[in-house]
């Protein structure tokens, strides 16, 4: 206490100056309309800046919850599409009855490792067998096809990237199944190739390339990309087609793993009949 009194006595003139300065500023603002408006305008700006920064900080820390909510909404919207259902119907002369069963469901996942510079690229996801992931499940980004699950542990899985020379998928072009293959030639990480499409078909730049249900990895009409270029092959029987990917594989982050409820049943039934190509 004695030290405090000594400090105040020593700095008395400074404290007196600050008190008188405060009284002067109060009187100036209180009894002068111009200075009063300037003061309130400045204080509003400062308060607004502080509140904006506070809101930005709150928004930053709430991004994780917002992202989770958006992923759940995306899953809900995806599962509403008719391509995710199998329709079972029973017809008689007098009665028609139809029910639908959900075939494809979606599990959100995060990419924790990704390669794009090799000939055989893979990426790792933070979901595994404990979350219901199995080999052979398709993986998509919010924009389109990304890859196929090839290995699974309890908490993680590895997917073969569409940028892998072993990746093969049957596509639709402009809404038609033309019995070709989606492959990657190992060159451009933004472009894949479609092969074995007969030159009898009308294939043009800009046509959309999407999935079929062949292989039971993906529901139909998931986007792969758009045709970037079309040329006659050297033997003149097929088109050489380059497709610009819908998914930016170098920026792969949030994805969805696709579960086909009927995949095991379909594979067992088709075993011995299905063409490996």
pLDDT of residue 85: 46
Q: What is the CATH number of the domain that holds 147?
A: 2.40.10.340
Assessment of whether the complete model's pTM goes beyond 0.85:
no
Residues 118 and 247 in one domain: yes
Residues 247 and 112 in one domain: yes
Residues 135 and 252 in one domain: yes
Indicate whether 91 belongs to any domain.
no
Which long-range contacts does 227-235 make (Cβ < 8 Å, 24+ apart)? 227/173, 227/194, 227/203, 228/191, 229/205, 230/203, 230/204, 230/205, 232/199, 233/199
Indicate whether 116 belongs to any domain.
yes
pLDDT of residue 162: 97
Indicate whether 97 belongs to any domain.
no
Indicate whether 247 belongs to any domain.
yes
Give the residue among 252, 172, 174, 264 at the shortest CA–CA distance from 219: 172
pLDDT of residue 91: 43
Residues 122 and 236 in one domain: yes
How far apart are the C-alpha atoms of 146 and 249, rounded to whole Å? 7
- Find the Cα–Cα–Cα–Cα dihedral 142, 146, 149, 154, rounded to 10°: -50
Indicate whether 131 belongs to any domain.
yes
Indicate whether 56 belongs to any domain.
yes
Q: Which two tokens stand for residue 112?
A: 């924790």
Taking the chain (277 residues) in consecutive chunks of 10 residues, what is each chunk's mean pLDDT?
67 70 66 55 53 56 57 56 47 42 88 94 95 94 94 95 96 91 96 93 94 90 95 87 95 92 87 66
Provide the 3-class DSSP secondary structure of residue 202: coil
pLDDT of residue 49: 59
Provide the 3-class DSSP secondary structure of residue 37: helix
pLDDT of residue 96: 35
Give the residue among 70, 71, 100, 108 at the shortest CA–CA distance from 83: 100
Residues 26 and 131 in one domain: no
Indicate whether 89 belongs to any domain.
no
Residues 275 and 157 in one domain: yes
pLDDT of residue 23: 74
Indicate whether 218 belongs to any domain.
yes
Q: Decide: 30 and 39 in contact? Cβ < 8 Å.
A: no
What is the number of domains present in the chain?
2
* Domain housing 140: 107-277
Residues 124 and 257 in one domain: yes
Residues 11 and 144 in one domain: no
């Amino acid at each position: 206490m004695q030290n405090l009194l000594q400090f105040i006595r020593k700095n008395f003139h400074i404290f007196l100056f600050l008190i008188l300065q405060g009284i002067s500023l109060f009187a100036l603002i209180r009894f002068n309309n111009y200075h009063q408006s300037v003061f309130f305008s400045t204080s509003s700006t400062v308060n607004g800046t502080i509140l904006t920064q506070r809101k930005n900080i709150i928004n930053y820390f709430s991004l994780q919850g917002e992202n989770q909510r958006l992923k759940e909404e995306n899953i809900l919207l995806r599962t509403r599409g008719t391509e995710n259902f199998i329709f079972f119907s029973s017809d008689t002369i007098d009665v028609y009855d139809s029910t639908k069963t959900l075939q494809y469901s979606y599990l959100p996942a995060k990419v924790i490792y990704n390669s794009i510079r090799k000939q055989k690229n893979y990426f790792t996801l933070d979901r595994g067998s404990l979350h219901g992931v199995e080999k052979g499940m398709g993986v998509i980004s919010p924009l389109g096809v990304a890859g196929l699950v090839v290995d699974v542990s309890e908490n993680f899985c590895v997917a073969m990237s569409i940028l892998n020379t072993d990746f093969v998928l049957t596509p639709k072009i402009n809404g038609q199944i033309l019995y070709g293959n989606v492959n990657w030639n190992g060159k451009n990480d933004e472009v894949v190739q479609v092969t074995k499409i007969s030159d009898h078909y009308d294939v043009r730049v800009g046509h959309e390339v999407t999935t079929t249900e062949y292989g039971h990895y993906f529901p139909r009409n998931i986007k792969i990309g758009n045709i970037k270029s079309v040329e006659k092959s050297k033997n003149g029987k097929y088109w050489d087609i380059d497709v610009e990917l819908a998914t930016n594989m170098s920026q792969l982050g949030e994805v969805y793993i696709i579960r086909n409820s009927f995949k095991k049943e379909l594979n067992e039934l088709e075993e011995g009949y299905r063409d490996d190509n």
